[in-house]
Amino acid sequence: MNPTQGKKKKIRLLFVCLGNICRSPAAEGIMCGIIEKNGLQDLIAVDSAGTSGWHEGELPDERMRLHGEKRGYDFCSRSRKLRKDDLSAFDYILVMDENNLRTVRAMTASKEEAEKVHLITDYLMQFRKLHNHIPDPYYGEASGFELVLDLLEDACEGLLLTIKKDHLLT
Ligand code: 4NP
């Protein structure tokens, strides 16, 4: 018997921002926590990438890590640049703002790939209608990092509800 028979392919999520050191690694860490809390780690895989390669190989920004630690997260991914083959490999590509959306859409090779790309704020629940992007905190103050975490915690819970519905998960 084929050893992969009966083994379901994981649903793959990719979070994308500009530098892959603030917003998208935070989204990756938050989503991993939610997936574990729901016992879905065998079914859903998460990664993140940047539209730029400016911080390739770096850990998330120190400020993002510290704000995350205060909420019990350990953001420890390494920055990497988004590749064209990510668009075929991942099932949901979640971007943080309109700039990311334009860049990623321009990289898509088919309607099928374009349909995988969504603004993460489309999944907001509590903050729905109040924010249409995740503001870039890089040049801002501490409150900007807290806002990023508040929005991502809300949107990632909403995203999981959509994934559960799309894939008939309980
Ligand atoms: P991110 O934030 O896109 O959320 O990772 C930024 C990180 C770095 C820069 C800009 C935004 N930068 O200009 O280097």
Neighbours of 25 (CB within 10 A): 30
Domain-located, residue 19: yes
pTM of the shown model: 0.96
Task: Give the N- to C-terminal CA distance of the chain in Å, as an integer.
Answer: 29
DSSP letters, 159-170, are HHHHHHHHTT--
Weakest-pLDDT range from 7-16, 35-44, 159-168: 7-16
Backbone angles phi and psi of 157, in degrees to 5: -65, -40
Domain-located, residue 47: yes
Domain-located, residue 50: yes
Domain-located, residue 6: no
Domain-located, residue 33: yes
Q: What mean pLDDT is predicted for residues 51-77?
A: 98
Domain-located, residue 2: no
Model confidence band, residue 170 (pLDDT cutoffs 50, 70, 90) = confident
Backbone angles phi and psi of 15, in degrees to 5: -95, 135
CATH number at residue 118: 3.40.50.2300
Q: What is the pLDDT of residue 1?
A: 45
Q: Report the atom number in ligand 1 closest to the C-alpha of 18.
A: 3
pLDDT, averaged across the chain: 96
- Rounded Cα distance between 20 and 37, Å, is 24
Q: What is the pLDDT of residue 6?
A: 55
| pLDDT digit string, tens, across residues 142-154 | 999 999 999 999 9
Domain-located, residue 63: yes
CA of 28 to the centre of ligand 1 (A): 16
Domain-located, residue 5: no
Q: Is the CB of 18 under 6 A from ligand 1?
A: yes
Could you list the active site residues?
A: 17, 23, 136
What ranges in the chain are assigned the alpha helix state H?
23-37, 62-69, 86-89, 98-107, 111-114, 142-166
Q: Look up the domain containing 20 and give its range.
A: 11-168
Q: How many domains does the chain have?
A: 1
Q: What is the pLDDT of residue 123?
A: 98
* Nearest protein CA to atom 3 of ligand 1, as residue: 18
The two tokens of residue 123 are 């999944």
